[in-house]
Structures are given as C-alpha cells and as structure tokens.
Chains A and B, each alone.
Chain A
Amino acid sequence: MSDDPIHDHALAEAFAAYAADKLGASNLGVTALSRIHGGASRETYSVDIAFEGADGPETKGLIFRRDPPDSLIDTERRVEFAAIRSMAGADLPAPEALFLEADGGPLGAPFFVMGRIEGGQAANPFQLETLDPHRARLGEQFFRHLGTIASVKAEGSPLSKEIDVPAPDACWRRELDYWEGEIDKNARGPEPIAKAAIRHLRRNPPPPAQKLAVVHGDFRTGNFLHDGAGNIVAVLDWEMAHIGDPYEDLAWATDALWCGGDQERAAGFTPWPEAIALWQEASGCVFDPAAFEWWSIFAHVKAIAIWISSARAYADGENDDPILAWSGWFTHAAHEMIISARLAPLYMGEA
C-alpha cells in the first residue's frame, strides 16, 4: 500500500482550488485526502487542508460527499444539506454543513462539504457487543437525540423550504406510496412478502401524526459516530430526511435488524420503557403503541424497498460497491424473515 497521504492527486488539486475560493484563503493546499469506506449513497472523502488564515497558518479537517453514478437512495444533496442546517440550535451533535454544490462543476459531480468530527468511529449494528461497557450510556443519548430531532420545529425550517410538507393525516400514505413505488420500479422479480405487508398496512392505517416533525429518515446504529468512551459525537447520513410523522424515525431506529439480535432492548441499547420515556421527554410526543406498531411494520417495508433499489443498482452495473449486493441479498432476506415472523402469527391466528 502507498504511504502517500493523498490518494487522488487530481481530486485533491480540484478540491484545493474550490476550497480556496469558498474560504477566501490564500496558499491553501490539501495535505491529505482519502476515501472512506461506507456511505454507498455517496462517495465520502476525508480531507486535511492547510492555509494562511487571518492570524497565521491554519489547518482544518473536512469531509466531502460526492454523488456516485447511482445512489443507494435517490434523493437530492440539497435535502441532506438543508436537514443538517435545520438542526442548527438544537442540542444535537450534527456535522457543520459548510458548502453545497448541487450542480457538480468543480468536482465533476454534485457534492457538499462538512466539517469533520474528529475522533469519531461508527458502530456496527451487527456487533453491538463491541460497544460494551458503554451501551447503556450510548442508548441514553441515542434516544434523546432521536427525540431532539422530532422536537425541532418543522414548519419554517430550512428543510421545509426544500421539500413538500404533508398534512398530518397524509404522512403515512405519502411514505407508503413512495416506498411501494420504489419496490415496483426496482424489483427484479415479484415480491409477495413485501406486497402482502403493504396491503396489510393499507387495510390498517395509523392515526394522523400527532405533530409534523423533521424526520431524519435513517437514524440507526451505524449512522452515528461515537468516541469509544460512551459519547455520541455526530449524527450522520441525513440524505433521507423529510417532514413527517415522528414515529417513523422511532420505528426505523428500533427496527429488529439494527438491534443486534437483542429485542429486549430498544435498538439493542436500552430497555424499551426507558427508551420510550427518553424519546417522549426529548420530543414532546406521547407514545401510542398502536401507531408505533404501524410505523414499525412500515419500517420493514421501507427497508425492503431500499434493499431492492440497492440490488437493482448493483445488477444494472450503475454502482459496483459490493455493499449494494450485500444489502440486496442478506438484509432483504432478513427483512422478509422479520415481516413474516410478525405477520404470519397474526393471520394464522385468524384461521
């Protein structure tokens, strides 16, 4: 392996010119640039820059995320950028959103630039035991941050200026229609389990959203950074953010796939009553088990839709990141199992 800290000199040069212009800095150079594995929906790069600041030489760590030819999730980077900006002022460790280039240009594809969170590491949802002995402490923050996102006023937020704001009684249908559409568009064969679950959800709709909230859309283990000492230092991956029912995030975050096989603890972190209490306190929402049940099954359907889209992108050769093949295979099969295990007893009990 090369010891060169700059893995792509042409990209580093282009980024240096761009950053110098945006920061108004002189003598700006890139001293390190490396691609980070992960984030199949974007190519993610870590960059160190050095420049002449007002008070002398300065260095800064940045992250930029550039669109690949095909993304895992078909959304606009301006939505992700606006979602992060919507968290300004909230008690939430989100990266600093710096610059957005929605039309590509300087780096050949749309991208945006964030401040780098130093010292953070991602958690693997399939190896939650590696978080011990900090699991309970991380769980407390996990559910508090989840609630904090739901507490941010959606109306008037930067995100609300970029996307449609649904009526409270339309949140569930909008999400279900969208993700069923993704399944129909991308499935490489019939999906009897997903379709049966979708019909089940349509026959048993949830109550209207108790409030309109900013929904992160992919808040779960794997999408936050922690410092190894029990502190969450950043909530990442905002590309699926939208405005909707706050239960959507709670259900997604506690989906059985992310709990490391530990369903006694919400998201594999915190005993359920405690997790719900933390979320209620931070969000200002009241927990309704029936509404949560709907959104929890919906989370499985949404997941299957994402895995199907991943498989399609991989099969069509639009994106050759093997994570897409893995998502389209293992996680798809896992969610078919999860849905069947939840709904089969219900219908078998009716017979």
Chain B
Amino acid sequence: MTDVPMVLQRIGAKLTGEVAPALEGHYLAGTAGMIGALAAMGGQAMEVAADNLMTEIGGMARLLEAGGRDPGDTNPASLKLTDLRALRDRLAADLIELQAEIEVSEEPEAKALNARIWNFFLGGAAARLPELPGGSTETE
C-alpha cells in the first residue's frame, strides 16, 4: 500500500478515537491521543510537504534576485524532503541577511522589497499551518 498519507490519517483516527479513550485515567491516554493527532497531521503534511518546499524555494530565489543577490543553484539535489529542506534552509539564511539589510533603508525600492518579503512570510506561514484533527488537541 503506497498511500502513506491515508495510512497515517487512519492510524491517527484509531489512536484518538479508540486507543486513547480505552486508556482513560492513565497518563498514557494523553500520550496516545497526542500521537494520534500527530499521525493525522503527518498524513496531511506528507501530501503537501514537497509542494510547499518547492514553492518556498522558488519564492525565496525570486526575492533574493530582486534584492540583487545571486540565489545560487536552486535545483534541488533530489525531490527527497531532506534535500528540499536543505536547499530551502540555505536560501532562508540568505533571505534573513537580505531582509536585515534592506529593512532599515528608507529607499522606496527597499521598502517595497521588504513588503514583498513579509507577504511571502504570510503566505508560507499559512501553507505550513497544519489543520488540526478534530477533538484531539491540547497543550500544557
């Protein structure tokens, strides 16, 4: 079975819907519920992770170019998530440097680029925010 997101979501539902309630009263009930929530979130995330990372990579490369910086080779070594994350992280480090430089400038071009960076942050943050599985969230 290769539909891993589906499997993870089903495991999550089993843990939160059946295992955790059966452990009620034991501290591991909370643990089981939490693992179930994480599995369900993992199922969702797996489906979109590569797409999100590629979108971020492309967006950061364009921002760096707009700031006059060479983003370097933006072709990932492979489509494995580890390779995509490594490339995203390299570009993110460069973006931090660029933003720190331009955000203190009064030049309209710098302000416009800073606005584009914040808009990019907003879009990326929205895409990364997992949907919470129903009825299984808690914090401490």
Give Cα A196–Cα B102 distance, bound, in whole angstroms.
Answer: 12
Of A39, A325, A326, A329, most B-chain CB atoms within 10 Å? A326
Interface assignment of A10: CB less than 8 Å from any CB of chain B: no
A315 part of interface (Cβ distance < 8 Å): no
Cβ contact within 8 Å between B138 and A351? no
- Check B27 against A333 for contact (C-beta < 8 Å): no
Of A40, A196, A333, the contact of B140 (CB 8 Å cutoff): A40
| Cα(A334)–Cα(B124), bound, Å | 12
Identify which of residues 27-75 in chain B touch chain A, using a CB-to-CB cut-off of 8 Å.
27-31, 34-35, 37-38, 41
Given contacts A39-B140, A340-B121, A350 and B30 within 8 Å (CB-CB): no
A322 within 8 A of B: yes
Interface residues of A in 206-256 (CB under 8 A from B): 222
If the complex has contacts A1-B26, A192-B96, are A337 and B140 also in contact, measured as CB distance less than 8 A? no
Q: How far is the CB of A4 from chain B (nearest CB, A)?
A: 11
Residues of chain A with a CB closer than 8 A to B118's CB: 196, 340, 343-344, 347-348
Number of B residues near A (Cβ < 8 Å) is 47
Looking at the assembled complex, report how far the CB atom of B139 sits from the nearest CB atom of chain A, in whole angstroms.
5
Identify which of A30-38, A79-87, A156-164 touches chain B: A30-38
Report the Cα distance A7→B28, complex, angstroms: 12
Are the C-beta atoms of B137 and A124 separated by less than 8 Å?
A: yes
Contacting pair B28 A344 (CB below 8 A): no
A190 on interface, CB distance cutoff 8 Å? yes
Q: Which of A263-280 contact B (CB under 8 A)?
A: none
Report the Cα distance A124→B138, complex, angstroms: 6
Whether B23 sits at the interface, judged by CB under 8 Å, is yes
* B35 contact set on A, CB distance < 8 A: 322
Taking the complex as formed, is A139 at the interface, i.e. its CB lies under 8 A from any CB of chain B? no
Kindly state the separation between the CA atoms of A322 and B129 in the bound complex, as whole angstroms: 18
Of the candidates B114, B124, B126, B130, the one whose C-beta lies within 8 Å of that of A330 is B130
Contacts known (A37-B30, A322-B35, A344-B122); A189 close to B92, Cβ less than 8 A: yes
Interface size classification for chain A: 35 or more
Q: Which residues on the B side are within 8 Å of A100 (C-beta)?
A: none
Query: Quick one: given A326-B34, A344-B118, are A38 and B140 in contact (CB under 8 Å)?
Result: yes
Closest Cβ of chain B to A67, distance in Å, is: 15
Q: Assess whether B18 is interfacial by the CB under 8 Å rule.
A: no
- By a CB distance below 8 angstroms, the chain A residues around B124 are 336
Q: How far is the CB of B78 from chain A (nearest CB, A)?
A: 18
Inter-chain contacts of A186 with B (CB < 8 A): none
B93 and A126 within 8 A (CB):
no
Q: Which of B27, B38, B103, B116 contacts A35 (CB 8 A)?
A: B27
Near A by CB (< 8 A), chain B positions 87-138 give: 88-89, 92-93, 95-96, 99-100, 103-104, 108, 111-112, 114-119, 121-122, 124-126, 128-130, 132, 137-138
Chain B residue contacts of A322, Cβ below 8 A = 31, 34-35, 38
CB <8 Å contact, B38 and A326:
yes
- Evaluate contact between A325 and B38: CB separation under 8 angstroms: yes
Which residues 52-108 in A have Cβ within 8 Å of B in the complex?
none
CA distance A37 to B26 in the complex (A): 8
User: What B residues does A40 contact at CB under 8 A?
Assistant: 140
Task: List 29 A-B pairs, Cβ < 8 Å.
Answer: A1-B22, A1-B23, A34-B27, A35-B27, A37-B30, A38-B30, A126-B138, A126-B139, A189-B85, A190-B89, A196-B118, A222-B140, A323-B138, A323-B139, A323-B140, A326-B37, A330-B41, A330-B130, A333-B129, A333-B130, A337-B122, A337-B126, A337-B129, A339-B125, A341-B122, A347-B115, A347-B118, A348-B118, A351-B116
Residues of B near any A CB (own CB < 8 A)? 22-23, 25-31, 34-35, 37-38, 41, 85, 88-89, 92-93, 95-96, 99-100, 103-104, 108, 111-112, 114-119, 121-122, 124-126, 128-130, 132, 137-140
